Amino acid sequence: MRPFRFLIAVIVSAACAGPALALSRIKDLANVEGVRQNQLVGYGMVVGLNGTGDTLNNAPFTKQSATAMLERLGVNTRGANMRTANMAAVIVTANLPPFSTQGTRIDVTVSSLGDAKSLQGGTLLATPLLGADGQVYAVGQGSLAISGFAAGGDAASVTRGVPTVGRIANGALVEREIEFKLATARSLRLALRNPDFTTARRIAAAVNEFMGATAAEPLDPSAVMIQVPPKYLGNMVRLLTEIEQLRVEPDNVAKIVIDERSGVIVMGKDVRVSQVAVAQGNLTVSISETPQVSQPAPFSERGQTVVVPRTDVRVDTQAGNKMAMVREGVTLKDLVDGLNALGVGPRDLIAILQAIKAAGALQAEIEVI
């Protein structure tokens, strides 16, 4: 019985040693259509700068904004020659979260618009933040937090970070709500972050299995339509809470992403190659000049100093580089090991992958960013 039990244990261990499925929550794979952020933007003024603001002669919009602002406060400065450098015109941006109610605070980012040197120590005055429809949804105001700084004198200066961009935590108050009637909806649509036919079908199958009925149907690679069952009518939050925790195995196309500028190469796990032989090498010719000076013997009556050229020419055919064989249907690890056996760097590896793709031996999509 002991050998039999040992054999059973070996079989069970081998079965459990297979690759684990990479299951992900639907919450991490898709968004609920309509539940999203909205971008806001506004034009404002930052005051209180220590002489590092806009030069009014170079930034006429700053001068016009200061004149209009002071007039609203009862101060007439038209025709006056203002020379202050303690204010700067800025662009204020923010993201309005979904279902934000009136009085909710959101973060804002403040960026200089003119030639201000730094926004350190500045205070943003009340700035309306507009949506894409031109309506005011929030008002921002407060003291800026700057991560960078700039300092210098007549002969040298130093700048760390970006002193012309700041952030105000909870610096804006929401004044208008965006209406979205989620509770009374009779259907909802899930938008996949990475569109894929297989992933959409698996999401719909997981939802139907959980509901016990055909409630979900994939419309296309990027959307899954779900009809709200009668027991969830008027309680969409409960339905979404249960659906977004369901786990499915996402599927993606085999892809290799290449960044030509930095030499970064990222390969997906499903990248496969047919049997192919690869060799890499270049003809390198190096020429170095080491001229020498020839002088006559001391106290000689004849002769003159001349420069004698010396040229060294070397040719490297890289004969030591051999051809490497990449087997058919190898895994990602085997593919990387085979390419690394050539002893090439990331730049040459990019050219090799593109050549393998051109030869029709690479079953993957190459995307150059």
Asked whether residue 148 falls in the same domain as residue 227, the answer is no
Q: ∠192-194-196 over CA atoms, to 5°?
A: 85
Cβ pair 85, 54 in contact under 8 A: yes
- With vertex at residue 234, the alpha carbon angle to CA 228 and CA 240, rounded to the nearest 5 degrees, is 55
Instruction: Please state the domain count of the chain.
Output: 3
The pTM of this model reads 0.68
Q: What is the mean pLDDT of the chain?
A: 81
Q: Is 315 a domain residue?
A: yes
Using an 8 Å Cβ cutoff, are 99 and 135 in contact? Answer: no
Q: Are residues 208 and 261 in the same domain?
A: no
Q: Give the end of a domain, one of 248, 268, 285.
A: 248
Looking at residues 272-301, what average pLDDT do you find?
67
Q: Residue 345: name the closest of 287, 283, 282 by CA.
A: 282
- What's residue 281's pLDDT? 64
Instruction: Note whether residue 152 is domain-resident.
Output: yes
H or E element at residue 9: helix 2-16
In this prediction, residue 267 carries a pLDDT of: 82
What is each CA distance from 363 to 258, 273, 280, 310, 366, in whole angstroms?
16, 6, 21, 53, 10
- 3-state percent helix, strand, coil for the chain, nearest multiple of 5: 20, 35, 45
Asked whether residue 318 is assigned to any structural domain, the reply reads yes
Q: Cα-flanking dihedrals φ and ψ of residue 135, to 5°? A: -90, 150
C-alpha to C-alpha distance for 303 and 295, rounded to whole angstroms: 8
- Position with higher pLDDT, 93 vs 304: 93
| 143-193 pLDDT per residue, tens | 999 887 666 666 677 777 789 999 999 999 999 988 888 878 888 899 999
CB 57 within 8 A of CB 81: no
Instruction: Say yes or no: 72 and 155 in one domain.
Output: yes
**Which residues fall within 8 angstroms of residue 6, CB to CB, at 6 or more apart?**
none
Strand 255-259 to strand 365-368: parallel, antiparallel, or no bridges (unpaired)?
A: parallel
Taking the C-alpha atoms of residue 52 and residue 144, their distance in angstroms, rounded to an integer, is 14
> Can you give the pLDDT at residue 256?
86
Across 58-62, 107-111, 280-284, 334-338, least confident range: 280-284
Is residue 236 within 8 A of residue 34, CB to CB? The reply is no
**226 with 331, same domain?**
no
Distance in angstroms (rounded) separating the CA atoms of residues 141 and 62: 18
Task: Give residue 360's domain range.
Answer: 256-294+305-368
Q: Do β-strands 157-160 and 149-152 pair in parallel, antiparallel, or remain unpaired?
A: antiparallel
Q: What is the pLDDT of residue 22?
A: 73
Q: Nearest to residue 353, comparing CAs of 252, 320, 253, 345?
A: 345
pLDDT at site 140: 96
Pick from 18-27, 42-51, 251-260 the range whose average pLDDT is largest.
42-51
Please list the alpha-helical segments (H only) found in 176-275. 197-211, 236-243
Distance in angstroms (rounded) separating the CA atoms of residues 213 and 227: 10
Asked if 57 and 158 sit in the same domain, the reply is yes
Q: Is the pLDDT of residue 250 over 80?
A: yes
